[in-house]
């Protein structure tokens, strides 16, 4: 490829070290599509002849078809996918193939390819997120009235509905989608035609090629067009946030599946046994998702660090972007693919959730509210209820089983209606504030999410 300037070929080790084809070959389709648009632009502008353009486009289409059918194997001896496609084209169509690289450099070529590739992959991840949200919403709908303790500091706090808890995740994943969409929109400008860094002396029409490739416009500075990978960082940050959400969900599923909680049971098809302990049913999928969060964060850090301090414009360091970002998209995709059906098939142990809600004084806030509504300042009510809780702990009973007589010893504002006020059902059904835990509020949340998904 470097014929002319060099008299010796590259040392074998250095050649292997320099090569990226083992990982960038996955962009063959984007590389070919980008080249087709470039060839069309060259012909439209009269930079190459129409017959040459036709040969190039037919040749590229045949290469694409042959790669996809398996008839053509990508030659791992080439430096990268760009070199392979060009060499294969020239081998097939001769001199016309040598004209493709007019008014272009691998620097803008690779910058286009990654954008096209990431646009496709990000759309796939959005579709997977939607499937997960659907699974979560389905479970929320089926369990909208199921009462369990809500936690803060992992201490039982207030009664909530399981539908409410699940819909919290639906909201997070919905925001993940919108974050990725924003990143795609910001990335969707074509650097093609930036060439090596300075632009070109040919009379190109960058906008024409950009439109053919579905971009919203062109990058406005050719040095920036070939130098920056901020769009990779942005998507990798978005993917890291998806993983962070998934890992929190995973952690809860792992806890809920333990004997200690016993709130849910994962389907056999999403759990594993132990090679030695016959009783075990492990939530390996959730644990792996939690674990894989680390590598997605790591990829982001790796690329941030690679790009730090790089002088403009292209530097070979930037070839390191691909393994990091490819690993991130692969990891997020596989995690989502496993997670959605795992949630869909998860069995909810309603009785255990309810039993847990009966312990831990999670209706204490409601008891304090009861006194407050009768005219007692909240802080005074808070103190009295604290004393009552202490008394219950001592007597080994709960707020619901302490007698009215004993309540009255604290203040005669207590009446028999207190028991109804602090029942778990009341605690939940009265929390009708927007976004709250009552069945009605959860139904509104479900309707909102469904509406957003249909957009």
Q: Which residues bind ligand ARG (CB under 6 A)?
A: 20, 24, 80, 106-107, 110, 314, 316, 318-319
In the complex with ligand ARG, the residue whose CB is nearer, 195 or 343, is 195
Question: How would you classify the pairing of strands 155-161 and 147-152?
Answer: antiparallel
Cis before 313? omega within 30: yes
Our CB check for ligand ARG shows the closer of 139 and 194 to be: 194
Q: Please report how close the Cβ of residue 316 comes to ligand ARG at its closest, in angstroms.
A: 6
Decide whether 55 or 104 has the Cβ nearer to ligand ARG: 104
Specify whether the CB–CB gap between 367 and 418 falls below 8 A.
yes
Phi then psi dihedrals of residue 23, to 5 deg: -115, -25
Neighbours of 39 (CB within 10 A): 27
In the complex, least distance from residue 323 CB atom to ligand ARG, rounded to whole angstroms? 10
How far lies 454's CA from each of 74, 133, 448, 451, in Å? 40, 12, 10, 5
Active site residue 269: no
Largest CA distance in the chain: 102
Which among 22, 178, 258, 274 is annotated as catalytic? Answer: 274
Q: Distance between CA 360 and CA 42 in Å, rounded?
A: 73
Name the DSSP class of 20. Answer: -
Q: How far is the CB of 259 from ligand ARG (least distance, A)?
A: 51
CB of 103 to ligand ARG, least distance (A): 16
Whole-number minimum distance, CB 222 to ligand ARG, in Å?
14
CB-wise, 139 or 319, nearer to ligand ARG? 319
Q: Which is nearer to ligand ARG, 204 or 319 (CB)?
A: 319
Pairing type for strands 189-190 and 217-218 reads parallel
Instruction: Give whichever of 316 and 455 is closer to ligand ARG, judged by the CB atom.
Output: 316
Burial class (CB in 10 A: 0-12, 13-18, 19+), 226: buried
Alpha-helical runs (H) found in 188-282: 206-212, 222-227, 230-257
438 annotated active-site: no
Residues 6+ apart with CB under 8 A from 240: 293, 296, 297, 300, 328
**Active-site choice (7, 69, 153, 454):** 153
CB-nearer residue toward ligand ARG: 20 or 331: 20
In angstroms, give the least distance from the CB of 251 to ligand ARG: 37
The span from the CA of 223 to the CA of 38, in Å, is: 19
**Which of 180, 178, 209 shows the shortest CA–CA distance to 119?**
180
Residue 219 beta carbon to ligand ARG: minimum distance, rounded to whole angstroms: 16
Token digits of residue 132 = 């997960």
Residues catalogued as catalytic: 153, 274
């Amino acid at each position: 490829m470097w014929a002319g300037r060099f008299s010796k070929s590259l040392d074998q080790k250095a050649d292997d070290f320099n090569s990226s084809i083992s990982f960038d070959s996955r962009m063959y389709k984007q590389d070919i599509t980008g080249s087709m648009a470039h060839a069309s632009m060259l012909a439209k502008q009269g930079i190459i002849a129409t017959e040459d353009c036709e040969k190039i486009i037919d040749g590229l289409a045949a290469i694409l078809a042959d790669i996809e059918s398996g008839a053509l194997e990508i030659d791992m001896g080439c430096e990268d996918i760009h070199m392979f496609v060009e060499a294969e084209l020239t081998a097939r169509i001769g001199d016309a193939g040598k004209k493709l690289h007019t008014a272009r450099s691998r620097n803008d070529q690779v910058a286009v390819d990654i954008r096209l590739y990431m646009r496709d992959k990000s759309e796939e991840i959005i579709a997977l997120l939607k499937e997960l949200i659907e699974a979560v919403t389905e479970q929320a709908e089926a369990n909208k009235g199921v009462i369990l303790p809500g936690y803060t500091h992992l201490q039982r706090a207030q009664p909530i509905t399981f539908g409410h808890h699940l819909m919290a995740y639906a909201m997070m994943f919905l925001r993940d989608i919108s974050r990725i969409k924003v990143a795609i929109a910001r990335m969707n400008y074509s650097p093609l035609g930036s060439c090596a860094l300075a632009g070109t002396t040919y009379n190109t029409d960058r906008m024409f090629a950009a439109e053919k490739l579905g971009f919203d416009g062109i990058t406005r500075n050719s040095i920036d067009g070939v130098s920056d990978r901020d769009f990779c960082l942005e998507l990798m940050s978005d993917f890291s946030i998806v993983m962070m959400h998934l890992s929190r969900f995973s952690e809860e599923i792992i806890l809920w599946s333990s004997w200690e909680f016993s709130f849910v049971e994962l389907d056999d098809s999403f759990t594993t046994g132990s090679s030695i302990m016959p009783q075990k049913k492990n939530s390996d999928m959730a644990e792996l998702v939690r674990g894989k969060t680390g590598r997605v964060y790591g990829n982001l850090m790796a690329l941030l660090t690679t790009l730090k301090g790089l002088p403009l414009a292209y530097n070979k360091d930037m070839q390191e972007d691909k393994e990091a970002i490819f690993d991130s998209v692969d990891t997020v995709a596989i995690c989502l693919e496993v997670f959605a059906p795992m949630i869909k098939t998860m069995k909810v142990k309603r009785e255990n959730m309810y039993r847990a809600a009966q312990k831990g004084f999670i209706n204490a806030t409601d008891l304090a509210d009861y006194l407050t509504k009768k005219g007692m300042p909240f802080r005074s009510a808070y103190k009295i209820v604290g004393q009552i809780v202490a008394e219950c702990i001592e007597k080994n009973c709960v707020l619901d089983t302490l007698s009215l007589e004993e309540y009255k010893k604290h203040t005669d504002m207590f009446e028999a209606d207190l028991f109804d006020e602090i029942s778990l059902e009341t605690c939940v059904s009265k929390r009708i504030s927007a976004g709250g835990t009552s069945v009605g509020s959860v139904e509104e949340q479900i309707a909102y999410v469904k509406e957003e998904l249909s957009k």
